[in-house]
Amino acid sequence: MSLFLDAWTYLTDGANWGGPAGIGTRIAQHLWYSALAVGASAVVAVPLGLVIGHTGRGAALIVGFANSMRALPTLGLLTFLVLMLGLGLIPPLLALVTVGVPPLLAGAYAGIANVPDDVVDASRAVGMTERQILFRVEIPNAMPILLTGLRGATLQVVATATIAAYVNLGGLGRYIFDGIGLYRYDRVLVGAILVAVLAMALDGILALAVWVSAPGTGRLRRGLAPITAANSIRPTS
């Protein structure tokens, strides 16, 4: 019980929130590492998933690739990358990308692949190009699943970004690794609580984004509303 009381005392002490090693700074660092990793993962995964979902080619390959990336041990991969590349931001960023790519890749592919065939066929029938179909029809209709993939990637990256402290970087993992090294397990608990709260806060925001983006609900602005089977589809010149 004393462990939880010590952690609570540390969290509620305003002096621990300021300064270069304060909780506020550690949260900002953790968010920065996470944003970089999710952004890099999206650059790799989303275009690939959109193309495969639109063309229907390589679906078996995407499943095997995503599953193989999920099987990689993140800390072991980080150790290997540090031995290859040295200390710095690049090794943990690359390790986090392997965590972020699978859900983004699966979300992009599944979202596009599950757009109703009659919607796509109607778009082609009125003369829309494949590019217009992808960006004006499939992506808007697939937005909830795309954002669900982003939601999963964000949660996994935020939870795993504590490994940055393993290579002497900052972030909330600093409390965990320093606490273990100093046998201050209340600090380990502080780090775990902060990571969990941060992940839940981001999950709530992204869950709201998924809810808002649902096609046909009128929650999006009319100018962003996706084309559905009930809409009249007009080709652009």
Rounded CA-CA distance 193/197 in Å is 6
Whether 95 contacts 78, CB under 8 Å: yes
**pLDDT computed for residue 179 by the predictor:** 94
Q: What is the pLDDT of residue 201?
A: 96
Question: Residue 128: helix, strand or coil by DSSP?
Answer: coil
Report how far apart, in Å, the C-alpha atoms of 209 and of each of 52, 61, 74, 149 are. 24, 29, 29, 12
Q: What is the pLDDT of residue 223?
A: 42
Sign of the alpha-carbon torsion through 6, 204, 155, 169: negative
pLDDT at 191: 95
Per-residue confidence in pLDDT tens, the chain, 237 aa: 688 899 999 999 999 998 888 999 999 999 999 999 999 999 999 999 999 888 878 777 777 877 788 888 888 889 999 999 988 899 999 999 999 999 999 999 989 988 888 888 888 888 888 888 888 888 888 999 999 999 999 999 999 999 999 988 999 999 999 999 999 999 999 999 999 999 999 999 999 999 888 776 666 554 444 555 444 444 444
The predicted structure's pLDDT at residue 213? 83
Locate the domains of the chain by residue range: 2-11+32-224
Among candidate residues 140, 161, 106, the one with its CA nearest the CA of residue 214? 140
Rounded distance between C-alpha atoms, residue 24 and residue 161, angstroms: 16
Cβ atoms of 138 and 116 within 8 Å: the answer is no
Thinking of the domain 2-11+32-224, which architecture would CATH place it in? Orthogonal Bundle (1.10)
